């Protein structure tokens, strides 16, 4: 057996959910994309209507949401990579 299937078998014996980390990462990244965009759209439309500025606030907040989403995704990716590297170090030390 290869190493991945061996790890999956160990996880099954330990009753751990081996895919949990990937799903949590996906949910967090999806939230970092959708959350700021939804807030920017709603707030931008409200501010443009309130101040009668056309679409100035709308596009400005969309750009800000895009940049903030990128920052959050990069930060979350770095955390995930560090977690995977630490897990690999622990697995190598056990063997």
* Alpha helices by DSSP H, the chain: 3-13, 20-51, 56-94
Tens digit of pLDDT for each residue in 14-37? Answer: 667 778 889 999 999 999 999 999
* pLDDT value at residue 45: 98
- Average pLDDT (56-72) is 98
48 and 58 Cβ atoms separated by less than 8 Å: yes
Region of residue 16 (left: phi > 0; alpha: psi -120 to 50; beta: else)? beta
What is the average pLDDT score of the chain? Answer: 89
Would you list the domain boundaries of the chain?
18-94
Cα 40 to Cα 11, 28, 70, 77, 89, distances in angstroms? 42, 18, 15, 23, 41
pTM (predicted TM-score): 0.75
**What span, in angstroms and rounded, lies between the C-alpha atoms of 21 and 25?**
6
């Amino acid at each position: 057996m290869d190493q991945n299937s061996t790890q999956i078998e160990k996880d099954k014996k330990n009753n751990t959910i081996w895919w949990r980390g990937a799903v949590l990462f996906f949910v967090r990244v999806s939230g970092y994309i959708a959350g700021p965009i939804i807030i920017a759209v709603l707030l931008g439309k409200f501010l443009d209507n309130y101040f009668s500025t056309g679409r100035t606030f709308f596009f400005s907040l969309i750009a800000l949401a895009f940049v903030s989403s990128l920052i959050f995704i990069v930060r979350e990716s770095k955390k995930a990579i560090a977690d995977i590297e630490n897990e690999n170090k622990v697995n190598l030390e056990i063997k």
